[in-house]
């Protein structure tokens, strides 16, 4: 990588290769060498090394001439020669740098770009509006609020230069009205595990629930207590207990196995433990199976 401050020197001599050897022996790095005639070389060196080269070839048969500045040094000299241009360039750079700290444009894109007005309002509510100072923490709060927009499954807020780009994506699988909006328990039992990716959890692990009870609601609550309708994305594991009866012609091991199989089928979960009771009713035998079973349920999890 070339240094920022360089100078181009011209060396005239009958022994150009010897001149390069002298420069190398002095530990000076040459960034470019060009032969521009018989006994004439143009070299590019650091500006601070040019004095050393003049000293090396002083009182010798070598003629060294400074041709021009290169790199940043050339730009600096031009600006110093024109103070007005230098001030104007400095002001321009300061304006550009300051502009990068402010929001001068907001773009909303993605499959849910129809929420552009809502997204801009959310940004403004979090003080990330047009001509405002950009605050990354405020932008993250706005992004979290955008996730509460109906059917939005992804939201991002990014700033490039003075432009804030909001990306909103919605699920393309099923329209919101056709989705199940909440997670409901199919049986009475104990909540072993619950994970809510979207929506609001209404129970915790260890809670006792009844059949038909909502475990995760299809809404989000703002800090002000407002409920925003959406759909729940959640899963849960329940440990349920139920009594199942089976009537047989006689009492036998085969009938007992059939009673258990019927209970497993009716429960529809993963058996954990069971107790089987037998009672004669006239000429029939009634098996009562008290079954503890695990049910895993989910809503809108794909």
User: 238-294: what fold?
Assistant: Dodecin subunit-like (3.30.1660)
Residues facing residue 246 across a β-bridge: 287
Structure confidence at residue 107 (pLDDT): 92
* Region 34-42 average pLDDT: 82
Which tens digit of pLDDT belongs to each residue from 208-225? 999 999 999 988 877 777
pLDDT over 80 (residue 250): yes
pLDDT over 90 (residue 18): no
Burial 16-42 (b: 16+ CB within 10 A, else e): beebeebbeeeebebeeeeeeeeeebb
Structure confidence at residue 99 (pLDDT): 52
pLDDT over 60 (residue 97): no
Which tens digit of pLDDT belongs to each residue from 64-89? 888 777 655 555 565 566 666 556 66
| SS3 assignment, position 21 | helix
User: In Å, what is the CA distance from 174 to each residue of 37, 179, 180?
Assistant: 77, 7, 10
Structure confidence at residue 171 (pLDDT): 66
Q: How confident is the model at residue 1 (pLDDT cuts 50, 70, 90)?
A: low
What ranges do the domains of the chain cover?
Answer: 5-76, 105-170, 179-237, 238-294
CATH number assigned to the domain covering 5-76: 3.30.70.260
Structure confidence at residue 47 (pLDDT): 81
Structure confidence at residue 247 (pLDDT): 93
Which tens digit of pLDDT belongs to each residue from 111-124? 888 888 889 999 98
Average pLDDT along the chain: 83
Which tens digit of pLDDT belongs to each residue from 143-196? 988 888 877 888 899 988 888 999 988 765 544 444 578 999 999 999 999 999
- What CA–CA distance (Å, rounded) separates 33 from 48? 18
CATH number assigned to the domain covering 105-170: 3.10.20
Structure confidence at residue 133 (pLDDT): 80
Structure confidence at residue 177 (pLDDT): 45
């Amino acid at each position: 990588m070339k240094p920022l401050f360089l100078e181009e020197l011209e060396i005239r001599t009958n022994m150009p290769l010897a001149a390069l050897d002298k420069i190398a022996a002095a530990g000076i790095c040459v960034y470019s060498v060009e032969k521009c005639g018989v006994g004439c070389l143009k070299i590019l060196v650091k500006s601070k090394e040019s004095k050393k080269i003049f000293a090396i070839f002083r009182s010798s048969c070598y003629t060294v001439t400074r041709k021009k500045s290169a790199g940043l040094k050339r730009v600096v000299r031009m600006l110093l020669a024109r103070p007005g241009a230098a001030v104007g360039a400095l002001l321009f750079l300061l304006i550009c740098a300051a502009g990068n700290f402010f929001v001068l444009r907001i773009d909303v894109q993605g499959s849910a770009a129809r929420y552009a007005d809502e997204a801009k309002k959310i940004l403004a509510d979090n003080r990330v509006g047009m001509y405002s100072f950009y605050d990354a923490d405020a932008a993250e709060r706005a992004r979290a609020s955008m996730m509460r927009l109906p059917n939005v499954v992804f939201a991002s807020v990014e700033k490039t230069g003075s432009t804030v780009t909001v990306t909103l994506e919605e699920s393309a699988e099923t329209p919101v009205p056709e989705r199940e909006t909440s997670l409901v328990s199919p049986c009475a039992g104990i909540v072993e595990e619950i994970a809510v990716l979207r929506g609001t959890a209404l129970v915790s692990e260890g809670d006792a629930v009844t059949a038909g009870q909502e475990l995760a609601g299809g809404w989000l609550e703002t800090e002000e207590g407002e409920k925003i309708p959406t759909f729940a994305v959640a899963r849960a594991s329940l440990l349920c207990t139920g009594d199942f009866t089976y009537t047989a012609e006689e009492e036998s091991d085969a009938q007992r196995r059939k009673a258990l199989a019927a209970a497993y089928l009716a429960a529809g979960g993963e058996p954990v433990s069971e107790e089987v009771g037998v009672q004669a009713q006239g000429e029939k035998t009634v098996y009562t199976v008290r079954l503890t079973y695990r049910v895993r349920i989910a809503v809108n999890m794909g």
